[in-house]
A and B are shown apart, each in its own frame.
Chain A
Amino acid sequence: MTITATTSSPSAPADDVATSRRRARPLRWLAAAVLAVLTAQLVAFLVGNRRFGWGTVAQYLFDPSVLSGLGVTVLLAVAAMVIGSVLGGVVAAAQLSDFGPARWAATAWVGFFRGIPPLVQLIFWFNLAYLLPRISIGIPFGPTFASWSANDVITPLTAGIIGLSLVESAYLAEIIRAGVLGVDLGQRDAAMAMGFTPAQTFFRIVLPQAMRVIIPPAGSQFISVLKGTALVSVIAMNDLLHAVQVIYNRTYEIVPMLLVACIWYLVVVTLLTVGQRRLERHFARGHLRDVRPVEVPA
């Protein structure tokens, strides 16, 4: 190259941005100071106020009844999320189908289970025996092969799982549908053009790309189911909230026991968030600007 950078005056030193210094940002210093003061106040409040009863919190944090309540809460949330995802996938597929009756049924499903408060649904399922004393499997309007008393089948646990799964399926159906609609139609064309069947096209090409968009809202949804499990304490299910309630009804240490529940909810939510971030990274393959090419052995 023969062209060199020119400076305004020949005597001035050559410019080099490597020597450029950081710019002062006074507003950031102010914001940092405010946040520090607020944090200090919060800590002083938590530590200084004896009514939090941290000693009691520590005493009950790993209490067997609290841990078993935590187990029930996690079990309910996971069961509702798994069953809800499968049902939600089917309902989303039905909503996207070109077969009218499937579309209408799916739309009604979403409207119904999203429209009624979850608490009402849980109480309803718990009282199913009133409406349907016996549950049976057989040919519709024909002979039955097996039948059970609804009172035996519908325990607080099954009522909780059914109720939460159905609510979940409605929300997840909408999340999955939006994710699938977000995938470029050219992807479907290309997959079909290569001879993929419609099912292969959906599961290998469209869904993995939709997952990128599906996971963040589905993660929030999982967190809200986890918290939603607290509702099952009204149908006498021994979840985390119910476990601490039983204890404070005996000891009257309401605030410390609620803190025990809060800590566990936050622990589980934090673990979920970490898992969600990992999944997001997995499905962002090929979408991040900074991904490095994959090493492929020759």
Chain B
Amino acid sequence: MTERATGSSARTVLRLRDVRKNYGAHAALDGVSLDVAEGEVVVVIGPSGSGKSTLVRCVHQLEEIDGGAMYLDGELLGHERHRGGLRPLSARQVAAQRRRAGMVFQQFNLFPHFTALRNVAEAPRRVHGRPRAEAEREARALLERVGLADRAGHYPRQLSGGQQQRVAIARALATKPRILLFDEPTSALDPELVEEVLAVVRELAAEGMTMVVVTHEMGFARDVADRCVFMEAGRVVESGPPAALFGSPSSARLRAFLSRHAADHPADQKVLS
């Protein structure tokens, strides 16, 4: 745990208030409230189907929420005030809001027809209208930061999973986001490639990047999280410093989740005990 983010004076970057999202009759998010302070790393855990992916996808406006409100740096996301009420933003305005956050996907989703360098440089060029040379210079610096300076000319198909995910992180950083959202960034990776990706995330945390990370890597959660959030059935059941959450879970459901996880992942035993 670091002290940088926990001070009460830190600014709130992301605020969710009673966010609801339904798929038909099923409530994937059932009133989620959450504040993320500047520089804070929030790790989200929970069983499959509890709404973790839905949460980050809603924050990034890849899905529309059905109720509640979300704010990024105090600005309402997805809607604007109009004639005493609210109305949805235009697609263009939503795109502008998305530029202020970055997202890393479980399946990488790199653009297969672009090289690693162009994957990273494309958004600064097309979205922010930066000159090509400048965008590529910065993209190269980002690739270097994730340890892939020598892979700039490779297409995604020519990279290992871990390398692809590191390019994806560089790509998400290219727009200089206020906050980074990760949806299980290591779940699609072979076990021996997980650590190279987590190392990059750790480094970003040390540099003070504000992040929300959905993960099943409990060891990582314990090391890096300033705060850990346990979700189940579309709700935040428990939230707090990882030591408290893993050490003395107060809800029966979190205890059940942790012991089930420990049974499936004996290697994590010491982390959870």
Where the two chains meet, the residues of A that have a C-beta atom closer than 8 Å to any C-beta of B are 184, 186-187, 189-198, 200, 204-205, 208-209, 283, 285-287, 289, 291, 293-296, 298
Contact = CB atoms under 8 A, between A and B. Distances in A.
Given A189-B105, A289-B157, A296-B153, 5 more contacts: A193-B98, A195-B95, A195-B127, A285-B113, A294-B155
Contacts, number: 92
Contacts of B102: 193-194
Nearest to B140: A298
Contacts of B114: 286
Interface residues of B, number: 38
Given A194-B99, A196-B95, A200-B126, A205 B115 contact: no
In the complex, the 5 A-B pairs of residues with the closest C-beta atoms, listed nearest first: A195-B99, A286-B155, A190-B109, A186-B109, A294-B153
B62 interface: yes
Contacts of B155: 285-286, 291, 293-294
B123 to A, nearest CB: 4
Contacts of B91: 197-198
B103 to A, nearest CB: 4
B13 interface: no
A204 B153 CA distance: 19
B115 A294 contact: yes
B126 A209 contact: no
B109 A296 contact: no
Nearest to B117: A296
Contacts of A205: 111
Contact of B171 (A186, A194, A283): A194
A195 B98 contact: yes
A65 to B, nearest CB: 46
A205 B119 CA distance: 11
A187 B98 contact: no
A204 B126 contact: yes
Nearest to A284: B113
23 contacts: A186-B109, A189-B62, A189-B109, A192-B95, A192-B98, A193-B62, A193-B98, A193-B103, A194-B174, A196-B95, A198-B91, A198-B95, A204-B122, A205-B111, A285-B113, A286-B113, A287-B157, A289-B157, A291-B158, A293-B151, A296-B117, A296-B152, A298-B140
